[in-house]
Amino acid sequence: MAGELKDRLNVSLQAVAQVLVVCGLGVYLARRHGLDRKAVAAVSGVNWHVLIPALMFSSIVGAVTPANLAMLWPMLLVSLLHIVLGAVPSFLLGWAARLPRDVWFFTVSASSLPNCGNLPWLFMPSIIKYYAPPAEAAAQMQYMVGLVSVYTIITILVTLTVPFIIKRPPDSLLLPRRRQQQQQQQQQRQGELAVQQQGQLQDVGSTQRGLQLQAADSFASHRSSSRLLQAGQSLLGSFSASFSRGLRRSESIVALAWTYPLGWQRERTAAAPAAAAATQQRQECQQQQQGRAEQGAPRYQRYVPRRLAVLLRCCAAVLDHPAVNVPLGATVLGVACAAVGPVRGLLVDELAPLHWLWLALGWVGAAAAPLATMQIGAELMQAAPVELGMHVPRRVQWTATAIAIGVKLLLVPLLNVALIRTAGMHTLVPAEDKVYQLLLLVEAAVPAAVTLLVVCGRVYPDIRPLSQMLFWQYVASLVTLPAFLVWFMYMLDL
């Protein structure tokens, strides 16, 4: 008994140490080698749009079969359950502690948001290798990645809906990214002007109006009870209007992409006037071509077929929308392909014609979890802009951090175990499926880092209180996570 406990504790510490090393590498790069916020954002963009979708699609297609497709509903239900178990007590504790609204929002988010999967992707293989036979370890690890990808469906939906409901007006989420960035820059300039006016008002002694302007800068003042109704009423109109704007904007881009193999000029993409000049030149060439039907047009005068141009314009406009979520689309596509046996066979079978594509996506997606964990470590070392600083008393910061640690790392795992044992583990998952049973327990004990950064970064620009809270959550998880892993392995006889 003592030997088994020692082995389980050793495996749990090794699994958590792997996460600590990868996260520490991100901290080292941020402190010593100048990994600034722009570089972190670039890595996050590649991870979000390429690596994570490739990992989710390949893992779901490999792990999910038409036979076990009906077994996925407990994983989705548990994800929603973890949100409720963390949101309710943290909301009540934050209200009792009289936290400021911004810090209150950070506390509830840090206590309730589910993990996006990067931490289980890193430490679960070590645990699977401990109890599984060597011949079955690789298949069970792939199965684990697929189940975690299904768990993240609710996480991705949360990253879309929470910022949309809390802060953003109904039209802002559906605007194309370029126009949205222009509006954000304009709002930032207006905010700087408001700060200057506030300083002038304080100089002349009108403190009451200055406090009103300061309250207007907080994201909590933008919320109203009718915002959700307005979002539902204007959803269809704003989407169609912004979609048509995206179609018109992407016309010149499609033309340049089509003429690239035929003599593309680098100057055309320098700025918008160059693209407009290229479009005008193409129209003049088209008029000249109508007068010489027998002569072949030069290579640079070839034109985009209309149907293909419309298709590419539609695709560019859809991908340009902030409401479009690539990982969620990859997950849904993976579940759809896995549900159809012949389609899954084209990818998974060793002699299938598309087996090479499935292997390539798996290799590309293997870098998603380490990069996401390094991003967490680098993000903790970043400082927010000075003009966006949110002055929070130290007592308030430590109170919020204590609530987030106690609820997320202690209360939620205990309540999750109590509810699952009350409902009956074997009624939810087959008794021989140890990976599924372990994931239902482990996901509740893991801090949510990437989800926090995505949601809170979209709602409020200053995340310094969140960074401190997240840092101490990770420090506390070095103690709580190995303890829960040992307990879970003892419960499941692993």
Q: How far apart are CA 460 and CA 384, in angstroms?
A: 11
Residues of 330-346 as b/e, b for ≥16 C-beta within 10 angstroms? Answer: bbeebbebbeeeeebeb
Find the mean pLDDT for residues 481-485: 87
Task: From residue 105, give the alpha-carbon distance in Å to each of 91, 159, 224, 252.
Answer: 9, 14, 15, 43
Rounded to the nearest 10 degrees, the angle between the axes of helix 52-63 and helix 341-348 is 110
pLDDT at 168 exceeding the cut of 80:
no
In whole angstroms, give the CA distance from residue 185 to residue 205.
30
**Would the pTM of this model clear 0.85, i.e. be above it?**
no
CA dist 283 and 257 (Å) reads 17
Residue with tokens 């699977």: 128
First to last CA, the chain: 13
Q: Does position 21 have pLDDT exceeding 70, yes or no?
A: yes
Give domain limits for the chain: 2-172+322-491, 173-240, 249-319
Q: Are 108 and 90 in contact (CB under 8 A)?
A: yes
Determine how many CB atoms are found less than 10 A away from the CB of residue 211. 13
CATH code that applies to domain 2-172+322-491 = 1.20.1530
pLDDT score, position 356 = 86
DSSP assignment of 353-407: TTHHHHHHHHHHHTTHHHHHHHHHHHHHT----GGG-----HHHHHHHHHHHHHI
Mean pLDDT of 251-274: 40
> In whole angstroms, how far apart are CA 474 and each of 8, 84, 317, 402, 419?
21, 21, 39, 12, 25
- Under the banding of pLDDT at 50, 70 and 90, the label for residue 318 is low
CA dist 404 → 90, 146, 439 (Å): 7, 29, 22
Question: For residue 487, with 0-12 CB atoms within 10 Å meaning exposed, 13-18 middle and 19 or more buried, which class applies?
Answer: middle
Between 137-151, 156-170, 191-205, the lowest mean confidence (pLDDT) is in 191-205
Query: What's the token pair of residue 145?
Result: 């990645």
Query: pLDDT band at 112, cuts 50/70/90?
Result: confident
Residue 318 vs residue 492, higher pLDDT: 492
Contact residues for 439 (Cβ-Cβ < 8 A; gap 6+):
75, 120, 124, 144, 147, 148, 151
- Top pLDDT among 302 and 385 is at 302
With a cut of 70, say whether residue 216 has pLDDT above it.
no
Tokens linked to 115: 């993990």
| Location of structure tokens 């006889």 | 493
d(CA 20, CA 5): 22
CA distance 181 to 76: 34
Q: Is pLDDT at 384 greater than 80 in this prediction?
A: no
CA distance 37 to 461: 13
| Average pLDDT over all residues of the chain | 69
Q: Which residue has the higher pLDDT, 443 or 208?
A: 443
DSSP 270-301: SSHHHHHHHHHHHHHHHHHHHT-SSSPPPGGG
- The DSSP call for residue 114 is P
Comparing CA positions, the residue from 89, 63, 172 lying closest to residue 409 is 89
